[in-house]
Amino acid sequence: MAVSKADSGPRPQQVLEQPVLGSRRLSNILVAAAVTTGGLGFLLTSLSSRLGRDLLPIGHPAELSWVPQGLVMGLYGLAALLLATYLWTVIGIDVGAGFNRFDRAAGQALISRRGFRQEISVEIPLREIQAVKVEVRDGLNPRRRLALRVQGRRDLPLTRVGEPLPLADLEMTGAQLARFLEVPLEGL
Instruction: Tell me the per-residue pLDDT of 80-108, one tens digit each, with 9 for 90 and over.
Output: 999 999 999 999 999 999 999 999 999 99
For residue 112, the tally of other CB atoms under 10 A from its CB is 15
Please report, for the chain, the start and end positions of each structural domain, with discontinuous segments joined by +.
26-93, 96-186
Instruction: Tell me the per-residue pLDDT of 27-73, one tens digit each, with 9 for 90 and over.
Output: 999 999 999 999 999 999 999 999 999 999 888 988 999 989 999 99
Q: Which class is domain 96-186? A: mainly beta
Q: What share of the chain is helix, strand, coil (3-state, %, to 5)?
A: 40, 25, 35
Gap between the Cα atoms of 104 and 110, Å rounded = 11
What per-residue confidence (pLDDT) applies to 180? 95
